[in-house]
Chains A and B, each alone.
Chain A
Amino acid sequence: MKSLLAPGHRGCAGCCDAMAAKFALMGAGEDCIVINPTGCLEVMTTPFPETAWEVPWVHSLFENAAAVGSGVEAALKALGKKEKTKVLVMGGDGATLDIGMRSISGAFERGHDLTYVCIDNEAYMNTGVQRSGATPYNASTTTSPAGKVSFGNNRPKKNMPAIMAAHGAPYVATTSIGFPKDMIKKVATATEIEGPTYIHAHAPCTTGWGFDTSKTVEVAKMAVQTGLWPLYEMEDGEVTKVRKLGKNIKPVEDYLKMQRRFSHLFKMEGGAEEIAKIQAIADKNIEVYGL
């Protein structure tokens, strides 16, 4: 399959965003227009006068990609070009769960024919690893640092797929860059469906999470295998398919140990209880989704 994201971009070695964008484009195919809010992906792929994008691409602001996407879709319709061309919005977790929420909600409620892919690296990486609404419980970031009286981020991740399903999106799916085929297939499915569809892609960031640049895929797989990041598909608001873990469920400790952002949990007094709380999050996922 041809890569529509050219090599030579300026992402970190082992960058999750680059993988996510590449897989998403493989799913959507050549005949698509990409809208990309501010964030690592935008900055690393388009330093003027270079561009890594082999498809038409537009960046506007941090918080309005879905609205820009709405406009692209409307223009294609008005100009009679919507037949085949797919509209693919790709934004980070900050752009999606936080600052861009209003414009995404508007675009989905209006039913624009576009696919929104959230590349969730669980923090604002482009500005130096600050917490977002997708930062997991107890992760240390520069604005939710672990300290003498803090275990880091004290809130669980916002359940964005559920919010998007509640908008009446015909198709919502979670995926992970640790499972390229899964991601490509789900994006392909989403872009084929008429109406607003949503893909939430888990994307471990070597720089922000603190693991070796060769381990991006391994860490991504582990998030799924612990049950912390379940992979499922929803059609018209109902979970229709789940990727089962079978007997291979790993303890969350194995996942947390791989990353600097959780290292305080293994050193601080009371860390074990905090790890147990994270295990409880995974256990609940295993139960709810029947992993």
Chain B
Amino acid sequence: MAPENKLDKSKMVVVEGSYAVAHAVKVCRPNVISAYPITPQTHIVEDLSQFMADGEIPNCEYINVESEFSALSALVGSSAAGARCYSATTSQGLELMHEVLFNVAGMRLPVMMTIANRAVSAPISIWNDHQDAISQRDTGWIQLYAENTQEISDMTAQAYKISEDKDILLPSMTCMDGFILSHVYEPVVLLEQDLTDEFLPTYEPDHVLDPKNPVSFGAFADPNYYTEFRYLQEQAMQKALKKIEDVANEFYDVYGRYYGGLIDEYRTDDADIIIMAMGSIVGTIKDVIDKLRDRNVKVGVLKVRSFRPFPVEAIKNAVKDAKVVVVLDKNISLGLNEGALFTETKSSLYNTDVRIPVVGYMIGHGGRDIKVDTIEKIIDEATEVMKTGIKIESQFTDVKEELL
């Protein structure tokens, strides 16, 4: 059973999502921040700049780099030199970091970034979907997706704690839906400094760039060694599965707030239909579900918080008694006509005794609104699948035929 949230209403303030994240970063006491502006991430680094200008982040350097490529590159140096590091980006900026993302992960540097998810060009679009982060799924970063402002704020501290664990040492990206969360004002309890100090120990790495004890970072590995580096990275990812859950519980113990570990479930206990999704869309689905439950439709939602590492076991256990699983993806793997969450979910179930139909919907690309009606229609279609089996395995939703 998920613990009961103890949100202290008296501490609530109404702030923009970006501000909540910037504030969370501040109380995590970073030593180096570097970032480059890109909509809709910009407000986060602007707020952090203001904190710097007001002297509110002690022992911290803020580097105004000339590109996202250098933003993350600078953090390679900072993290290797022993600093707790932060950056934020989205879309084209994240894609520009691609090569460095592998590098940070391969050097096992526990860098943390917030991604304000946005579609990728072309055509250029500044609005939300998950294609940017999904395209980076194999770079070796932990990827966590948040449902609302409170969660993305709290996830900031959680991600540092996960990444910096000596058994893990993997970088993390915490993902918030661009505009939908980054630019919306919501009531939140901002991370408290004293609780965060209690929750998140100072970063004390075992290996740093130190002239008194010289070590080499990022050597080149011939075929005798390379495989083992990759193997160890994957081992760390597997260990992160438990760590993410532990940290969610530890966070609850200190702050009294809980959003699930690897996944979170809502009304799935007796559900025939389980809808899986990531990010803010989960909130919309919950509303639809409440409405349909009143009409005795047995439907629940499975929120995926951790996309990397992928929670195979948790998902399997959550869906095993359902009659149909519906996966909503704000991305597409072109050439397969499927979204990534859908593909991963099917492959996770393939060699198990869980034999239930899984259908996929690609939805909300480039910021297209996801309407309650659409979700209801999807649930209707899932009811049909229960009766007559799968007709279409994976499809786009809300395509405007008249524009084609």
Q: Which residues of chain A have a CB within 8 Å of any CB of chain B?
A: 30-33, 35, 42-43, 46-49, 51, 53-61, 63-64, 66-80, 85, 102-103, 105-107, 109-110
Contact = CB atoms under 8 A, between A and B. Distances in A.
Given A47-B220, A58-B216, A79 B73 contact: no
Contact of A60 (B32, B59, B73, B215): B73
Given A32-B211, A70-B65, A102-B70, A60 B218 contact: yes
16 contacts: A31-B211, A33-B209, A42-B220, A47-B219, A48-B221, A60-B76, A60-B100, A64-B70, A66-B70, A71-B74, A71-B76, A74-B63, A74-B74, A75-B61, A103-B66, A103-B73
B220 A71 contact: no
Given A67-B65, A67-B69, A67-B70, A61 B220 contact: no
A59 B99 CA distance: 13
Contacts of B77: 35, 58, 60, 67-75
A53 B217 CA distance: 11
Contacts of B218: 46, 58-60
Interface in B30-52: 31-32, 34
Nearest to B60: A78
A71 B70 CA distance: 9
Given A61-B99, A78-B59, A102-B66, A48 B225 contact: yes
Contacts, number: 165
B219 A78 contact: no
Give the most central of B32, B59, B77, B100: most A CB within 10 Å.
Answer: B77
Contacts of B54: none
Nearest to B106: A60
A51 B81 CA distance: 18
Contact of A72 (B65, B81, B213, B216): B81
Nearest to B209: A56
Give the most central of A60, A69, A77, A79: most B CB within 10 Å.
Answer: A60
Given A58-B209, A60-B76, A46 B81 contact: no
A73 B70 CA distance: 14
Contacts of B222: 47-48
Contacts of B213: 56
B142 interface: no
Interface in B75-119: 75-83, 85, 99-100, 103, 107
Given A56-B209, A60-B103, A43 B59 contact: no
